[in-house]
Amino acid sequence: MSTDIARIRREVCDLHAELVRYQLVVWTAGNVSARVPGRDLLVIKPSGVAYDDLTPANMIVCDLDGAVVEGDLAPSSDTAAHAYVYRHMPEVGGVVHTHSTYASAWAARGEAVPCVLTAMADEFGGEIPVGPFALIGDDSIGRGIVQTLAGGNSPAVLMRNHGVFTVGDTAKAAVKAAVMTEDVARTVHLARAHGRPLPIGEQDIASLHDRYQNVYGQSSDRSATPSAAQPASQGDTKG
């Protein structure tokens, strides 16, 4: 096992605990994957294993067609969707899927979350878009994710009647996007339940988004998560 793969097995395992910590998943739903840099491989969680039982050793290594390369268990049933994203979005280093409650409620209505918070402008550069209805089992979900995200600012898509898929230049950035997606989906839900959320002008959204990317020094607009090389004091929060 290469050191890269060993490191990514641990990273992907640890990031699954974040989905639990932020209450984005129940039972065995949800998954995180990471691309193995420089190789046509990804690391993803095994299918149907309880979060408490996930270990670096039982993470599954697959090729970018979703075929198992290392691992005794079956990979997540969403592996084909993750693999499709890595094949078609070379800039993506991590993918996350959840059925987090508020975001999935927007997905159930097939409704994009409108950009009515500066935090949304920062993180998503606009609305969180809705992707098509797609059944599991072939490339439909992956295709819907890529078609919806390609060329846009948002690192998150609400797949209609299903849930959230997020991407990032790292798996950690994709997890952050999943956390932020649920956070703003909940806030905008509450805002709308009690009145009419006020839109933010397109120019203001663009300027907030640009500033946020510059403050955190990321060249990619897929992620505003500080890299490991940056001081830890910058943390993961904005402000």
CB of 159 to Zn ion, least distance (A): 8
Contact 13, 37 (CB under 8 A): no
Residues with Cβ within 8 Å of 62's Cβ and at least 6 positions away in sequence, in order, are: 41, 42, 43, 44, 68, 69, 71, 75, 79, 83
**118 or 161, CB closer to Zn ion?**
161
CB of 223 to Zn ion, least distance (A): 22
CB of 119 to Zn ion, least distance (A): 25
Residues making contact with Zn ion (CB under 5 A): 163
**144 or 163, CB closer to Zn ion?**
163
Burial label, 39 (beta-carbon count in 10 A; 0-12, 13-18, 19+): middle
**161 or 234, CB closer to Zn ion?**
161
Nearest to 142 by CA among 83, 184, 101: 83
Strand, coil or helix: what is 95?
strand
**46 or 163, CB closer to Zn ion?**
163
Structure tokens that stand for 225 in this block: 């998560």
CB of 13 to Zn ion, least distance (A): 20
